[in-house]
Amino acid sequence: MVDSKDFAVGIFDALARRRRQNLERISKDELYDFWLQISDQSFDARLQIFFDMVDTNVDGRITREEVQELIVLSASANKLSKLKEQAEEYAALIMEELDPENLGYIELWQLEALLLQRDTYMTYSRPLSSGSAAQWSQGLSAGGAGGQPAAAAAAQQKQQACARMRRRWSPRRAAARARVAAAEGWRRAWVLALWAAAMAALFAWRFVEYRRSAAFRVMGYCLPTAKGAAETLKLNMALVLLPVCRNTLTWARSTWARYFVPFDDGIAFHKIIATAIALGICLHAGNHLACDFPRLIASGPDEYRPVARFFGRDRPTYRGLLAGAEGVTGIVMVTLMAVSFTLATRPFRKREEMMAKGGGAGGGRRRLGLPFPLGHLAGFNAFWYSHHLLIVVYLLLLVHGWFMFLVDRWYQRTTWMYISVPLVLYVGERTLRAFRSKAYAVKILKVCLLPGNVLTITMSKPYGFRYRSGQYIFLQCPTISPFEWHPFSITSAPGDDYISVHIQTRGDWTQELKRIFVENYFTPSVPRRAAFGDLGAAEQKSPPRLLVDGPYGAPAQDFRNYDVLLLVGLGIGATPFISILRDLLNNIKLADELMDLAMETGRPEDSANSFGVSTASSSNKRRAYRTSCAHFYWVTREPGSFEWFKGVMNEVAEMDKKGVIELHNYLTSVYEERDARTTLLSMVQALNHAKHGVDIVSGTRVRTHFARPNWKEVFTRIASKHPNSTVGVFYCGRPTLAKELKKLSLDMSHRTGTRFDFHKEYF
């Protein structure tokens, strides 16, 4: 905020200089007058303030030094340190454009002409941020004509609001929304309905069975309720394993089942089942401990006689019931599951949280404390290790189910019937991981530390390792831990002869991996503008061993099923889509090669549909897919993040002559483009790209937009550009934006002829 405060002081000084005043303090009337000038939306008023800020000596002329000073001030306000270092170069660029006669200064009319022609320089990539250039241009045009009266603008806004209210609900719109919702969620609906029906049927079956038993006269409704809950627990303890059988799900994604089963929601379904398990435990254990056990103990001789064959001739004590195999296994299972479920919740999985306002010095961060001895298991470790306690739970569940109360025939002990197949499947997958990680021996080829604490690792591609764009792998570093596996998106293309991952070092494991690679084994030499594939020189000593497991299926791997792609990544969330971009880029290269070959052989018609050829495997098998266009939106707070995939962006800008891939980079740490603090930067950005073809922020050929995207405009533009198409919306990032994108996908699907299918990446 210090830099923004300096910028505000600059505006104040500019307004004071216009009045020929040297003010240390101002009155209330003067403050009001200043506010009227600052809030004036007209083009002339804003231009005059901007000119006065630059013209520090009030001579009506702007020199190169004054332009350079304002560039430094604007860059500081927006935390763009690299621009501050190049302020002299960009000031010379502006003077070269506006002062062709080398007079050494420019005047107000020249600056006005440049600002009015700003959009001409920006035709290479139209912005769709909240403060877009389209809105900016409209403001300039209105201002140049004297501005639209405020009353008229307010009346127009009121009319538009009333029109929206009238259109908000109608039977036709409601029916359209229902159709879109049904088309979007029918797969989830039938799976959840089938699951709920199965639980209800099992609960009712056991409830009725024990309602008719002799034990009911002793224990009452507590017994059938506990037994009904136990039956649902058997089902859910079996089903909860299926979403984490990743190899099975990856295979199932490639079958016809993907049209009926929402594999993208596997983790969400896993959590829903876990919640049902927790409720079932409360119902089952609560009824046993607080209801039917006390009733059994307090029963009379005549009441107890029908159940004596299950508990012995003498009535058991409460302690005796808990000390039996059923009681001990039940208590241990509940304890272990309580620990596992608690440490899997978001507050415990999230390693750090912001301190409350007013707490701590400078609003710092504090770690989420856990009781001893679990303090060292914060974050992912808490989740990972505690979840492996469930191995013991499943063994105890088999014992608990065999010695269950009120059962004396083997076929009535059904627990093993429920969980045997899923348990064998899960154990088989873990065994496969152990063998496959040894078979997939990889060699570390390159390592580079990029801005934003991102570690790029390029490995050799194991023989027989085949994957699709959008999939991910698990990595293990035995030097750190022989047990921990962590998922990372593959950022190389299937046709490449190597595997690459981009790892943001946040948690304990990734930070230790960075330390081992960078400090102990490599001496990195990070170039000023590191590029993808150019990972910098590294003096290799003895690299640690990495084990690879995978690949595993992810929502983004189905991108070929859509006519148009909308890929949205937040920060490191861009990684799942880089492989897709590289795959599309490889197809563009292959299409160009086929076109050249066809032209040489005199048969250009053979390459007409050459873009539909995929290089997904090294065996050069051709596989057509329907994707014709991709829109990639990368939103990040750190300017250095654009260094991560600079090579990919430059390749796309250079080779994609047909406009198959559209790249849009957004930097949210910079003020929106209508803000005074970015006006000069936008001007410099447009000039530099027009003259040199390079963006001043990212250092690539792709323009960086300021502020956040206006997602409604993005969806509207895609819908109008691709009517009657199916658009796959793939997102990886924070859940907050996922809700907005999902809502827009539903809304635009029923408002337009374009269908938007939303998918969110999960790990």
Q: What is the DSSP string of 319-330?
A: HHHHHSHHHHHH
- Rounded distance between C-alpha atoms, residue 569 and residue 631, angstroms: 11
Confidence of residue 291 (pLDDT cuts 50, 70, 90): confident
Q: Are 375 and 418 in contact (CB under 8 A)?
A: no
| Cβ(660)–Cβ(588) below 8 Å | yes
- Give the SS3 label for residue 561: helix
DSSP 179-209: HHHHHHHHHHHHHHHHHHHHHHHHHHHHHHH
Residue with more model confidence, 556 or 347 = 556
Does residue 199 or residue 672 have the better pLDDT?
A: 199
Q: Residues 6 or more apart from 606 whose CB is under 8 A from it?
A: 594, 598
Q: Which residue has the tokens 């406009």?
A: 659
Is the sign of the CA dihedral 397, 402, 404, 409 positive or negative?
Answer: positive
- Identify the H or E element spanning 564: strand 564-570
Q: Indicate whether 373 pLDDT > 70.
A: no
C-alpha distances (whole Å) from 290 to each of 255, 300, 401, 648 are: 48, 19, 20, 63
Q: Convert 400-427 to b/e letters by CB count within 10 Å (16 or more is b).
A: bbeebbbeeeeeeebbeebbeebbeebe
pLDDT band at 203 (very low <50, low <70, confident <90, very high): very high
Angstrom distance (rounded) from CA 544 to CA 537 = 18
Helices (H), 78-132: 81-85, 87-98, 108-116, 118-121
Is the pLDDT at 50 greater than 70, yes or no?
no
CB contact at 8 A, 111 and 47 = yes
Q: How is the chain split into domains, by residue range?
A: 2-132, 182-356+363-432, 436-552, 555-760
Q: How confident is the model at residue 676 (pLDDT cuts 50, 70, 90)?
A: low
Calpha distance 487→548 (Å, rounded): 10
Higher local confidence (pLDDT), 636 or 411? 636
Tokens for 520, please give them: 């102990």
Q: Indicate the DSSP class of residue 74.
A: H
**Is the pLDDT assigned to residue 255 strictly greater than 70?**
yes
Is the pTM higher than 0.75? The answer reads no
Q: Which of 65-79, 411-425, 561-575 is the least confident region? A: 65-79
Percent of the chain clearing pLDDT 90 (strictly above): 14
Contact present, 228 and 207 (Cβ < 8 Å)? yes
Least confidently predicted of 38-52, 400-414, 674-688, 719-733: 38-52
Confidence label for 368 from pLDDT (cuts 50, 70 and 90): very low
Q: Is 37 exposed, middle or buried (0-12, 13-18, 19+ CB in 10 A)?
A: middle
Residue 528: pLDDT band with limits 50, 70, 90: very low
* 647 sits in which H/E element: helix 646-655
pLDDT value of position 146: 38
Sign of the torsion angle spanned by Cα atoms 283, 286, 290, 292 = positive
In angstroms, the CA 460 to CA 621 distance is 21
- CATH placement of domain 555-760: 3.40.50.80
> Do 623 and 616 contact (CB within 8 A), yes or no?
yes
pLDDT at 145: 37
Per-residue pLDDT of 464-512, as tens digits, reads 888 888 889 999 888 888 888 889 999 888 888 899 999 888 777 888 8
Tokens encoding 260:
């009926």
Beta-carbon contacts of 516 under 8 Å, excluding residues fewer than 6 positions away, are 477, 479, 480, 544
Mean pLDDT of the 324-338 span: 90
Q: How far is CA 501 from the centre of its chain?
A: 16
Q: Is the pLDDT of residue 760 over 60?
A: yes
pLDDT at 425: 92
Q: Which residue type is seen at 360?
A: G
Architecture of domain 2-132: Orthogonal Bundle (1.10)
- In the structure, what pLDDT confidence band is assigned to residue 385 with cuts at 50, 70 and 90? confident
As given in the structure block, the two tokens for residue 728 are: 């796959």
Give the separation between CA 412 and CA 309, rounded to whole angstroms: 16
457, 434, 458, 427: which is closest to 547 by C-alpha? 434
Mean pLDDT over 596-607 rounds to 61
Length of the chain: 763
Cα 468 to Cα 580: distance, rounded to the nearest angstrom: 9
Alpha-carbon distance 87 to 707, whole Å?
Answer: 22
Average pLDDT over every residue of 723-741: 88
537-538/524-525 β-pairing? antiparallel
Judged against a pLDDT cut of 80, whether residue 388 lies above it is answered with yes
Strand partners, 525: 537
CATH 2.30.38.10 applies to domain 436-552: no
Number of Cβ atoms within 10 Å of the Cβ of 85: 11
- Tell me the C-alpha distance between 659 and 727, whole Å: 17
